[in-house]
Amino acid sequence: MEVVVPIILLIAVTIFATYNTYLYFTDAPLIIDGPWWVMWLIVLGLFIFIIVFINIRKRLLKQLQQSITDKAQVDLNLGEHEYFLQTPIYLFHSLKIPIFNNDHTPLSYEIKYDTILNKYASALSTIFVGCSLEIESPQHKVYLKSHFFTVHYGYDVYLDDEKIGTFKMKKLIGKDSGIKQQLPYQFCGKDFTYNLHNPYMSQTTDIKDEADKVVMKARRSFLDMSKHKLTKQRGEKHEIEFFAASLPVEVFLGLYVIAILNKNIQR
pLDDT in tens, the chain (267 residues): 456 677 888 889 999 889 888 888 888 887 777 788 888 999 999 999 888 887 777 777 777 667 666 666 677 889 999 999 988 777 677 788 889 998 888 899 998 887 666 665 555 544 445 689 999 999 999 999 998 766 678 999 999 999 999 999 987 655 555 566 788 999 999 999 999 999 888 999 999 999 999 999 999 987 666 777 777 777 889 999 999 888 999 999 999 999 998 887 766
Q: How many distinct structural domains can be found in the chain? A: 2
Task: Report the pLDDT value the prediction gives residue 149, as an integer from 0 to 100.
Answer: 67
Residues 61 and 84 placed together within one structural domain of the fold: no
Helix runs in 94-235, H state only: 116-123
Task: Report the pLDDT value the prediction gives residue 212, as an integer from 0 to 100.
Answer: 93
Task: Report the pLDDT value the prediction gives residue 163, as an integer from 0 to 100.
Answer: 97
In a domain, 70, yes or no: no
Task: Report the pLDDT value the prediction gives residue 57, as an integer from 0 to 100.
Answer: 73
Q: Which of 249, 254, 261, 264 is nearest to 80 (CA)?
A: 249
- How far is Cα 22 from Cα 260, in angstroms, rounded to an integer? 51
Residues 220 and 101 placed together within one structural domain of the fold: yes
Task: Report the pLDDT value the prediction gives residue 67, as an integer from 0 to 100.
Answer: 65
> What number of CA atoms fall less than 13 Å from residue 146's CA on the CB side?
27
- How far is Cα 266 from Cα 176, in angstroms, rounded to an integer? 22
pLDDT, one tens digit per residue, over 60-73 is 777 766 766 666 66
pTM: 0.75
Buried b or exposed e, range 205-233, using 16+ CB within 10 angstroms: bbbbbeeeeebbbbebbeeeeeebeebeb
pLDDT, one tens digit per residue, over 208-219 is 999 999 999 999
Dihedral angle computed from the Cα positions of residues 71, 253, 248 and 205, in that order, rounded to the nearest 10 degrees? 130
Residues 177 and 220 placed together within one structural domain of the fold: yes
In a domain, 177, yes or no: yes
In a domain, 176, yes or no: yes
Residues 25 and 131 placed together within one structural domain of the fold: no
Coil, helix or strand at residue 220: strand
Torsion angles phi and psi, residue 224, rounded to 5: -105, 105
- What is the span of the domain harbouring residue 248? 76-266
Count of residues for the chain?
A: 267
